[in-house]
A = this chain, B = another copy of it.
Amino acid sequence: MSDIAGRLAPQMGALGLHTSHGGSGKLITGLPGVPPGRVLIIGAGVVGMSATRTAVGLGARVTLIDRQADTLVHAEAQFGARVETRFSSPDTIADSLEYADIVIGAAQIPGRHAPRLISRTALARMPQGAVLVDVAIDQGGIAETSRPTTHSDPFFVADGIVHYCVTNMPGAVARTATKALTHATLPYVQALAAQGLAALESDAGLKAGLHVQDGRIIHAGLAQDLQSR
């Protein structure tokens, strides 16, 4: 599902730039003589890598930020000079926001609240009419200004920035999502059907997905996040 959200994110960002959605009226592809859109992708996990692929394909100028050196090495091997990679730091993010037409929040920690990387002050550095696509909204979002939206009313403007914060992004492409999900989960379903809960003992991956047991939260990260709120 992360893969789908990543591929959709730059498309939604490009749409948010349109005048009718409150954006700056820039064409993401650019034109001969007119520069393409700048896309800043924060996080080079599955979401970020998929978002990079689509953004590059659309002809945008892409900057990909991550904390892990080996993740950036992998990204460069995959995309070469078509994407610029940067080590993540508060300074790097703040500087990059200044030139971004589209920011894609792709930093996620599995099972935990997303890191709050973009404060209201940081947001103010973005150009008016720029777009924030907060893919991490299902875990609370990476921006102070983010609040959940829906497929029927996906955008809102806050502080001059167009926000796209649709929860369950893959729902937009239900057919593709269903096909992918069916194939990805089929082995687990077959194991549960054949063995019942015993399947969790023989498959560490399956067991790691257990969040609540006998009414108690047993997933450490989830428990910690819920307590601290």
Contact = CB atoms under 8 A, between A and B. Distances in A.
A56 B56 CA distance: 12
Interface in A16-51: 17-20, 24-27, 29-36
B175 A25 contact: yes
Question: How many copies make up the complex?
Answer: 6
A84 interface: yes
A36 to B, nearest CB: 7
A184 B34 CA distance: 12
A15 interface: yes
Interface stretch (A6-14, A106-114, A197-205): A6-14
Given A20-B152, A82-B82, A7 B33 contact: no
A63 B173 CA distance: 22
* Interface SS, A side: helix
Interface string A87-116: 100000000000000000000000000000
A36 B14 CA distance: 20
A2 to B, nearest CB: 11
A172 interface: yes
Interface in A158-211: 171-177, 179-180, 183-184
A3 B59 CA distance: 14
Interface of A: 3-4, 7-8, 11, 14-15, 17-20, 24-27, 29-36, 53-54, 56-61, 63, 69, 72-73, 75-78, 80-82, 84-87, 151-152, 171-177, 179-180, 183-184
11 contacts: A18-B173, A19-B174, A30-B85, A32-B72, A34-B87, A34-B176, A34-B179, A54-B58, A56-B57, A56-B81, A87-B183
